[in-house]
Amino acid sequence: MTCSPAQLAANRRNSQSSTGPRSPDEKLRSRRNSLKHGLTGAGIVLPTEDLAEVEARFDDFEADLRPRGGVARFLTRRAAMLSVRLDRCARHESSMTSERIDRAEAYFDARRLDEAALLYDWIASTPAANARRLHQTPEGVDRLILAWEGLKSDLFHPMPAHWDCFYLEKAENLKGRRPLDQPVPRARALSEAIEGKFQFLEDHEGAGLDPAARRRWARVQMGHLIDAEIAQLQDLRATFDDTETVRGRAQSVDRALFDPSSEAILARKYEAAAERAFYKALRQIKEADAAHDAAEELPDPPTQPHPPPGGPPPGTAPPPPPARPAPPPTPTILSDPNRPAPPRPTHDPKRPDAG
């Protein structure tokens, strides 16, 4: 797709307005765009208050350690930055622990309520399992009582046609069943009668009443059924011992002292890495100081001796070294004239004149 000259000119004008940071102050701020916690990195994008703390800490370390040489001063500044980072880790962990402790009991209660609410929300998918688990906790029983009370309120709604099969399914789910699990449950017979379908009622139930009166009778009977379910749940609720709940609420404060979340684990790893690097910098400062002192104690290199008076002028080649004396001649060993000569072989195969 080609671009028109007018659009091209507009793009060029817009590009002049979006060139990014230009001034040193803007560039310094833009370097901190991806700064999250400041617990890692080289420390070149620390917040302004941390930079001031690093400078103050460096002055203290310099007065205590007295680094000698540029390398030791560099390591001292790195140790100051790591110490500020360790302080930040400690403050962060302390504040997060205090927050968890303050919210521990409220979170304990909220978590139990959320668990009951989740079971109730999914009761239609697995009514038997979820209803059984709701009956096991005080929060679950309270949620079931609230649901039955809501059904009774809908049952006697001013609109006659308000009750339908949806409410029947909900009532059966609260009892841990589905509407078709039994051939004709009592709730289904009454619910069908409320809608004007009396085929599931016994002959004596509402006998002698006209259809409208019989539908009202079925509605009242459904109300009695709901009241019976609420009464059973209230009796179950009274059997729960709150001592276990109180103990769990108190123990939640102790559990809040440790944070097992992935973010907390990562923060503890950052803190351990900063601590190792801090002590390593201290060791390297001592090594750098020792190397600096050893270099200062080395003797000066020997200087060339001055030539004696009358010697060759500076810049000329020195005279050649004297020649080495010749070795003495090797003495000649004279033969004894009285010693007889060795016998000569009579036949030598290597000689050409041998016959």
pLDDT digits (tens, 9 = 90+) for 6-47: 888 888 877 777 666 667 666 656 655 545 445 555 444 455
Work out the burial of residue 138: count CB atoms within 10 Å of its CB; fewer than 13 is exposed, 13-18 middle, 19 or more buried.
middle
pTM of the model: 0.56
State the Cα–Cα distance between residues 166 and 150, nearest whole angstrom.
Answer: 13
Question: d(Cα 222, Cα 185) in Å, to the nearest integer?
Answer: 12
DSSP 135-147: TTSHHHHHHHHHH
Q: What is the pLDDT of residues 114-169, one digit of tens each?
A: 999 999 999 999 999 999 999 999 999 999 999 999 999 988 887 756 778 888 89
Q: What is the secondary structure of 111-159 as a DSSP string?
A: HHHHHHHHHHHTTTTSHHHHHHHHTTSHHHHHHHHHHHHHHHHHHT-SS
Rounded mean pLDDT of 330-334?
A: 53
List the structure tokens of 247: 């103990």
What is d(CA 221, CA 20) in angstroms, rounded to the nearest whole number? Answer: 75
Give the percent of the chain with pLDDT over 70: 74
Read off the pLDDT of residues 243-273 as tens digits, 9 standing for 90 and up: 888 999 999 999 998 999 999 999 999 999 9
C-beta of residue 157 within 8 angstroms of C-beta of residue 144: no
> Which pLDDT band holds residue 206 (cuts at 50, 70, 90)?
confident
Contacts of 184 (CB under 8 A, 6+ apart): 200
Residue 71 to residues 127, 284, 286, 291, 298, Cα–Cα distance (Å): 72, 9, 11, 10, 19
Residues 68, 94 contacting (CB under 8 angstroms) = no
- Answer for the pair 89, 271: CB distance below 8 angstroms, yes or no: yes
Which band of pLDDT confidence, cut at 50, 70 and 90, is reported for residue 314?
low
Q: Which tens digits make up the pLDDT trace of 47-77?
A: 566 788 999 999 999 999 999 999 999 999 9
Range scoring the smallest mean pLDDT among 44-48, 99-103, 211-215: 44-48
What pLDDT shows up at residue 184? 83
Residue 128 CB burial class (10 angstroms; 0-12, 13-18, ≥19): middle
Q: What angle do CA 12, 16, 20 make, to 5 degrees?
A: 130
Q: What's the rounded Cα separation, in Å, for the pair 253 and 97?
A: 10
Q: List phi, psi (to 5°) of 142.
A: -60, -35
Residue 274 has pLDDT above 80, yes or no: yes
Q: Using alpha carbons, select from 58, 41, 78 the residue that is nearest to residue 270.
A: 41
